[in-house]
Amino acid sequence: MTNDERRLHRKHLVTAAVAVVTSIVLLGLLYTVGTHRCLDKTLGFGREAMVFLQAACEKYDRYEQGRKTEATHNLDAAVESFSTFLPPDRVEVNDDRVEEYVHTEHLSGMLVMDGDGHMVAHYDVGGRDPLMLWREELACSSVVSMYRGSKVSYSTVVERRDVDFAVSAVPYGDGVALGYRSLAPEPADDYSYTIADVLVNNTFHQSPTVLVMRDAQIVSSNDSTVDITLARLLVDSGIDWKDEGLTRVEYRGATWYAVRAAYKDYRLFALYPKSEVMSGRITFVAAGVLVSLAFWVVVLLARNIVDHRNLVEKDKQLGIINAISAIYDSTFLLHLDTLEIEGINMSPAIAKIFAEHSEAYDFMDTVCRDIVSPESREAVVGLVDISTLRERMEGVPYLAAEVRDCRGAWYSLQVVP
């Protein structure tokens, strides 16, 4: 194998090593970029889902407010009509008449107080104690003023035992009549399930698990298997939420990426499974690998073509040198760029020295010492001085000198570019 072939082989090895290292770095870069692209894409979907949920909650709240307002007005009318249902004489008021009225007006309950604040009659459809249930309402200034002759009615919406009630109080005789109705949605009220229906029927990108929560209670979700464990994890745990990005959440041995938002007292969450989030990463990496492979194929083909042409040119030059060297006792090829000596045609004595002293300066020094006669050494050393040979060869066809070897024979020494 010639020096050119050895250099070409080394180039191929270096190219292969560079290609392997570059490919590893490229794969890592593609993997990182692909991951960030997937996370950014999912973050966009999550923000869209939050906007959608906020709009759904706002719409639902507007309906709830309208429903409660309407229920309060209806309750006001029902309680105010109590004075026409019964005579103003409170002696005739009893529990049976109140029960009858409650069922007639579809109330949750009612109690009638006398001027001394004592309960005259009452009824509650759930069997609760109205006096204990509405003690705070009976003590408020608006209701107390009715005992003092005020004819202004009072109505509000309160929560008792986790149920919203519309409450109305009107003057009755010297006392007060207080009626209340639960605002819990009726089963036949289709709109009471609006949020749930929206979540179930809407197709979100990348199949997230969506939750609408109030405090730690799940109001609605598009996944029927979601339980309070997940709600507590999202609300009570020490999760470091990233409000401007996705938050990694571990739940039941699986990895999720979550985004959250809030609307009034609602907490909104969308959890995306990692498999869905990263589904596009493999495609991105595969596309990048194909592009890089195509690039490397083009580069290697171009390099092989160039190397092949160079090698052909070198072989041509070497053929010329071999043809010329046939008329000389010994011929060498000196690479001035690498200071490597390549033997082409060597006599036995020169071949022996070359085998033991292949380094350029050492070889030249040994040949001058062992082969060239003392009186010719100065001429030979000056002729083959490697440090100045490139400059001395510029513009001249060759350099030559007549020298004598140690046996007294004369030789012609020529340096040809």
Q: What per-residue confidence (pLDDT) applies to 208?
A: 84
| pLDDT above 60 (res 343) | yes
Q: Is 13 left (phi over 0), alpha (psi -120 to 50) or beta?
A: alpha
Tokens for 380? 């030979």
**What string of DSSP letters covers 89-128?**
-GGG--HHHHHHHHHHTT-SEEEEE-TTS-EEEEEETT--
Query: If you average pLDDT over residues 145-151, what whole number do you get?
Result: 82
| pLDDT above 70 (res 3) | no
Q: Residue 369 and residue 405: Cα distance in Å, rounded?
A: 10
Query: If you average pLDDT over residues 369-377, what whole number do you get?
Result: 78
Share of the chain above pLDDT 70, in %: 86
Query: If you average pLDDT over residues 62-88, what whole number do you get?
Result: 74
**What string of DSSP letters covers 251-268?**
ETTEEEEEEEEEETTEEE
End-to-end CA distance of the chain: 22
**What string of DSSP letters covers 115-178?**
TTS-EEEEEETT---HHHHTHHHHHSHHHHHHHTT----EEEEEEETTEEEEEEEEEETTEEEE
**Whether 149 contacts 59, CB under 8 Å:** no
Residues forming a β-bridge with 269:
211, 260
Q: Is 98 left (phi over 0), alpha (psi -120 to 50) or beta?
A: alpha
Q: What per-residue confidence (pLDDT) applies to 192?
A: 47
Which tens digit of pLDDT belongs to each residue from 267-289?
A: 888 888 888 777 777 777 777 77
Confidence of residue 195 (pLDDT cuts 50, 70, 90): low
Q: For residue 348, count other CB atoms closer than 10 A to its CB.
A: 8
| pLDDT above 60 (res 353) | yes
Query: If you average pLDDT over residues 311-323, what whole number do you get?
Result: 69
Q: Residue 50 and residue 405: Cα distance in Å, rounded?
A: 97
CB neighbour list of residue 330: distance below 8 Å, 6 or more residues apart: 345, 346, 347, 350
Which tens digit of pLDDT belongs to each residue from 101-117?
A: 888 888 889 998 888 88
Which tens digit of pLDDT belongs to each residue from 386-415?
A: 777 778 877 777 777 777 777 777 776 666
Q: What per-residue confidence (pLDDT) applies to 124?
A: 92
Highest mean pLDDT: which of 123-127, 172-176, 374-378?
123-127
**Whether 332 contacts 416, CB under 8 Å:** no
Q: Determine which of 12-26, 164-178, 192-206, 397-411 has the lowest per-residue pLDDT on average.
A: 192-206
| pLDDT above 50 (res 332) | yes
Q: For residue 82, count other CB atoms closer than 10 A to its CB.
A: 22
CB neighbour list of residue 47: distance below 8 Å, 6 or more residues apart: 259
CB neighbour list of residue 139: distance below 8 Å, 6 or more residues apart: none
| pLDDT above 50 (res 90) | no
Q: Determine which of 36-45, 50-59, 173-182, 331-340 has the lowest per-residue pLDDT on average.
A: 331-340
Q: What per-residue confidence (pLDDT) applies to 2?
A: 55
Q: What per-residue confidence (pLDDT) applies to 204?
A: 78
**Whether 384 contacts 369, CB under 8 Å:** no
CA distances from 35 to 29, 283, 292 (A): 10, 11, 19
Average pLDDT, whole number, for the chain? 78
Q: Residue 416 and residue 322: Cα distance in Å, rounded?
A: 13
Q: Determine which of 80-84, 239-243, 350-354 has the lowest per-residue pLDDT on average.
A: 80-84
